[in-house]
């Protein structure tokens, strides 16, 4: 099984571990990045947008309007999704750069 250093304490942990067993720090795994991007982030952004549109419509109309709000929320979503996926890609690069142990190599 491949191991990576924890993003917080540096201890070697399984590559797909969602939390470090030593310090408890949440790790950026593929499933975490996908979950944040497809579920968590849209819920938060829709909550913020809905609150602004329904709670303070006069402020929204006086500033950016509904189209501006939609564009802003989509831009924030795209930037955050790129950030999550970049963090996961960085973690995968660490895994690819680590030297393999002789017991881990497969022969063909």
Task: Record the pTM.
Answer: 0.58
- Per-residue pLDDT, averaged over 17-31, amounts to 82
pLDDT in tens, 51-107: 888 888 888 788 888 888 888 889 998 888 888 888 888 877 776 776 665 555 544
pLDDT at site 98 = 64
| CB-count burial class (<10 Å; 0-12, 13-18, 19+) for 96 | exposed
Boundaries of every domain in the chain: 29-97
pLDDT in tens, 38-57: 888 888 888 888 888 888 88
Q: Of residues 34 and 71, which shows the higher confidence score? A: 71
């Amino acid at each position: 099984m491949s191991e990576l250093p924890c993003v917080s304490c540096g201890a070697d942990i399984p590559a797909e571990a969602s939390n470090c067993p030593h310090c408890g720090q949440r790790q950026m795994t593929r499933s975490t990045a996908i979950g944040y991007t497809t579920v968590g982030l849209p819920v938060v952004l829709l909550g913020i947008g809905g609150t602004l549109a329904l709670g303070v419509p006069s402020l929204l109309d006086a500033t950016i309007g509904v189209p501006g709000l939609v564009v802003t929320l989509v831009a924030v979503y795209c930037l955050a999704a790129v950030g999550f996926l970049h963090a996961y890609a960085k973690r995968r690069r660490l895994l690819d750069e680590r030297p393999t142990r002789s017991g881990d190599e497969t022969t063909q």
